Structure 1
Amino acid sequence: MPATEPRRTELDAFHESLGATFTDFAGWRMPVRYASDLAEHAAVRSSAGLFDLSHMGEIHLRGPQAADSLDHALAGRLSAIAVGRAKYTLLLSEQGTVLDDLIVYRLAEDHFLVVANAANVAVDREALTARAVGFDVEVADESADTALLAVQGPASEAILRDLLTDAGGTIAGVAAEDLTALGYYRVLQGSYEEAELLVARTGYTGEDGFELYLPADRAESLARRLLAVGGERLVPCGLACRDTLRLEAGMPLYGHELSRDLYPVQAGLGKVVALRTKGDFVGRAGVESAPTEGLPVLVGLAAEGRRAARAGAEVRTTGGETIGAITSGALSPTLGHPIAMALIHPEHTAEGTALVVDVRGKDLPVRVVPLPFYTRH
């Protein structure tokens, strides 16, 4: 059987025009880099980068019982967030393991937007639809019609403020002072070229930044305006630097630090599960009865030199006992030494513990360090 062609975002030709190199990611053809991973990474840490994240999923819940439906379906207490705010949460299996990690925005009292990882959109849609039965709510997957652009980095606010004044009236409902006042995990609603625009102060890089949701057919226009306004301050960025940025920030990636084989507490996300602040929900009984004692837990690892451990590499004690595996690893462009996240036996997670990682058949000495590896100042 011939391989299925990866899907393309609305910006595919735009990326080609900028000289992007592509990769297949979660069934999508996505730009992995334009020129240099390191240069793109550095741009986000020092100025700003522009990302196309249109492979992500956007699932809307509308109706009088939208909040109640999400309280039942998800691990967090979504009914408690105010309009204009967002919350990081988890979609759990009946057994209490992680099906996906999500960001949920409350756009109105009866309207929520659930943003899903690209590989999990179908799973999330089906789960949210099934769990909405009996509630007065409509679940609509609008992923195919929605684009997502991210502007990330310390110059991101200045660039977006310039966009508001430069866009010739095509952006409405978002004022520069509102943008500056917008807190982390907050969202503004406006319009671009007379189509709905959401401006959220969220991101996946460890830097200040914004994520812009709009109809897919407006995406290229907005991307070109952003690059024109940003000038030398804004660099197109691919998935390669997005991965090293999120790793430095200690942010989990589904399929690496999170999976349907792992409980939230193993990834340090036990507090995301609202056991104390709400009643029953799908996965609660599984979490409460989970046999988590002795299961691997997530830690940060750091090493000297230039050799980096990659996902799947074996982690051992200095005495040679296998105690876990690397989930993500890279040579940190910001810190200048190898870093990794790993799931290891809880007896060996104390800060400073000396361990060994197998890097292509050679031992790499590492030590346990706190997460995140990098925090913006």
Structure 2
Amino acid sequence: MVDQDLRSTALEAVHRSLGATFTDFAGWQMPVRYDSDLAEHRAVRESAGIFDLSHMGEIHLRGPRAGEALDHALAGKLSAMSVGRAKYSLLLTEDGGVIDDVITYRLAQDHFLVVANASNAEVDSHELTERAKGFDVEVDDASDRTSLIAVQGPASEQILLDALLGADGGVEGITAEDLTSMRNYRFAAGSYRGHELLIARTGYTGEDGFELYVSDELAAALWEQLSAAGGDRLTPCGLACRDTLRLEAGMPLYGNELGRDIFPAQTGMERVVALSSKGDFVGRAGIEAADLSDRPVLVGLVADGRRAARAGAQVRDGEGREVGAIASGALSPTLGHPIAMAFVRTDVAEPGTELIADVRGKDLPVRVVELPFYRRG
């Protein structure tokens, strides 16, 4: 049964035809899996998976001062980014906490695209609109007319070449060389069947891969074309395996490792904040004034066996004293043992430190390790 209160992407009919199981994610009806979480996870690590990420937000800023507006609005220095590049950044509160983590693409000298997490898309759009006031820039929230399809995994480049860049691929303005020479956090812009298409070498899985932005009306055609060309190399993947993939790669999830009450330095993201390379921006004063001496920091935890600590579980030291809490945890499909990211006191954050995590009332010995847990070879 369809929940009438949930929003659907332009690909919902495709997902239903594939037998997807759905979940409510940030007010959207999204496929959580099609068959097996484990099989989908392994497909991305070993070949390729295709994801519908159309619940994400796409916010355009156009105008001669668009770069300056984003320098003011975000923690990074976006005005220094070249056309054709993308940059990870943070949208901060006045106090220095994290409203959202975003990726910004520079489409032209006076045109940027900010991609927001689904749970924060409307908030981000409002914040960017407010922060752009006083600059010569137009903010256009295109989330309701844009679909986002990700193809992730070691076979992703060849699948895109086979699907889109042949004589009948329907893509213009993007060549095979554009794709094969594209580095991480770069993109190419062209058209697909007469409509704008953006192909970026970005992703949230820890694997090589691409994210494709296209109009809603062509999303199903693009998905089917990629799937047909991918064949057995390409597996439809839901949000469940996307979560275990990003956890293995040590990538933060808003609401778990990021939030309004969490400063970037607590998660090791102080490098994302351009304190030395630009002037004032929203959140700068809050970060500079913050006392982080008693704030917990994010670490990786590993354990033996098959039981995994879940988000919210308590972490204790050897004396039984509470020293932190799990932010995200799972049994790693790739590594075969439990992993977690947790916020813990700085005095127990050194790699090699032995701690205890609570797993449904039972003690699980864990060890602090450096992030990420997994790096592609």
Name the TM-score class by shorter chain: over 0.9
- Provide the secondary structure at the position in 1 that maps to 2:376: coil
- Verify the 8 A CA contact 2:163 2:169 in the aligned structure 1: no
For each residue in 1:109-156, what CA deviation from the matched residue of structure 2 results, as whole angstroms up to 9, or x when unmatched? 000000000010111011101111110000010000000000000000
Deviation at 1:59, TM superposition (A): 0.2
- Provide the secondary structure at the position in 1 that maps to 2:58: strand
- Verify the 8 A CA contact 2:65 2:137 in the aligned structure 1: yes
For each residue in 1:26-67, what CA deviation from the matched residue of structure 2 results, as whole angstroms up to 9, or x when unmatched? 110000000000000000000000000000000000000000
CA distance, structure 1, for counterparts of residue 239 and residue 108 of structure 2: 32
- Verify the 8 A CA contact 2:10 2:220 in the aligned structure 1: yes
Which residue is 1:240 aligned to?
240
- Verify the 8 A CA contact 1:164 1:175 in the aligned structure 2: no
TM-score by length of 1: 0.98
Which residue is 1:230 aligned to?
230
Which residue is 1:353 aligned to?
353
For each residue in 1:237-258, what CA deviation from the matched residue of structure 2 results, as whole angstroms up to 9, or x when unmatched? 0000000000000000000000
Which residue is 1:197 aligned to?
197
- Verify the 8 A CA contact 1:67 1:78 in the aligned structure 2: yes
- Verify the 8 A CA contact 2:91 2:99 in the aligned structure 1: yes
Mapped pair 1:320 → 2:320: yes
For each residue in 1:162-218, what CA deviation from the matched residue of structure 2 results, as whole angstroms up to 9, or x when unmatched? 113446151111111110000100010011110000000000000000000000110
CA distance, structure 1, for counterparts of residue 102 and residue 199 of structure 2: 17
Which residue is 2:269 aligned to?
269
- Provide the secondary structure at the position in 2 that maps to 1:80: coil
For each residue in 1:296-338, what CA deviation from the matched residue of structure 2 results, as whole angstroms up to 9, or x when unmatched? 1000000000000100000000110001100000000000000
- Provide the secondary structure at the position in 1 that maps to 2:79: helix
CA distance, structure 1, for counterparts of residue 183 and residue 151 of structure 2: 16
- Provide the secondary structure at the position in 2 that maps to 1:79: coil
- Verify the 8 A CA contact 2:257 2:267 in the aligned structure 1: yes
Specify the code of the residue in structure 1 equivalent to 2:254. Answer: Y
CA distance, structure 1, for counterparts of residue 169 and residue 205 of structure 2: 30
- Provide the secondary structure at the position in 2 that maps to 1:78: coil
Mapped pair 1:335 → 2:335: yes
For each residue in 1:2-22, what CA deviation from the matched residue of structure 2 results, as whole angstroms up to 9, or x when unmatched? x87110000001000001000
Instruction: Note the 1:65-76 alignment, pairs <5 A.
Output: 65-76=65-76
Instruction: Note the 1:161-200 alignment, pairs <5 A.
Output: 161-166=161-166, 168-200=168-200
- Verify the 8 A CA contact 1:297 1:343 in the aligned structure 2: yes
- Verify the 8 A CA contact 1:164 1:176 in the aligned structure 2: no
Which residue is 1:31 aligned to?
31
Which residue is 2:220 aligned to?
220
Instruction: Note the 1:1-377 alignment, pairs <5 A.
Output: 5-166=5-166, 168-377=168-377
CA distance, structure 2, for counterparts of residue 351 and residue 267 of structure 1: 15
- Verify the 8 A CA contact 1:97 1:261 in the aligned structure 2: yes
Number of residue equivalences: 375
- Verify the 8 A CA contact 2:41 2:333 in the aligned structure 1: yes
- Verify the 8 A CA contact 2:309 2:329 in the aligned structure 1: yes
- Verify the 8 A CA contact 1:167 1:225 in the aligned structure 2: no
CA distance, structure 2, for counterparts of residue 293 and residue 58 of structure 1: 37
- Verify the 8 A CA contact 1:264 1:270 in the aligned structure 2: yes
Specify the code of the residue in structure 1 equivalent to 2:339. Answer: I
Specify the code of the residue in structure 2 equivalent to 1:119. Answer: S
Specify the code of the residue in structure 2 equivalent to 1:84. Answer: G
Deviation at 1:271, TM superposition (A): 0.7
CA distance, structure 1, for counterparts of residue 295 and residue 104 of structure 2: 29
Gaps of 5+ in 2: none
TM-score by length of 2: 0.98
- Provide the secondary structure at the position in 2 that maps to 1:310: coil
CA distance, structure 2, for counterparts of residue 46 and residue 53 of structure 1: 21
For each residue in 1:67-91, what CA deviation from the matched residue of structure 2 results, as whole angstroms up to 9, or x when unmatched? 0000000000000100000000000
- Verify the 8 A CA contact 1:166 1:229 in the aligned structure 2: no
- Provide the secondary structure at the position in 1 that maps to 2:31: strand
Specify the code of the residue in structure 2 equivalent to 1:242. Answer: R
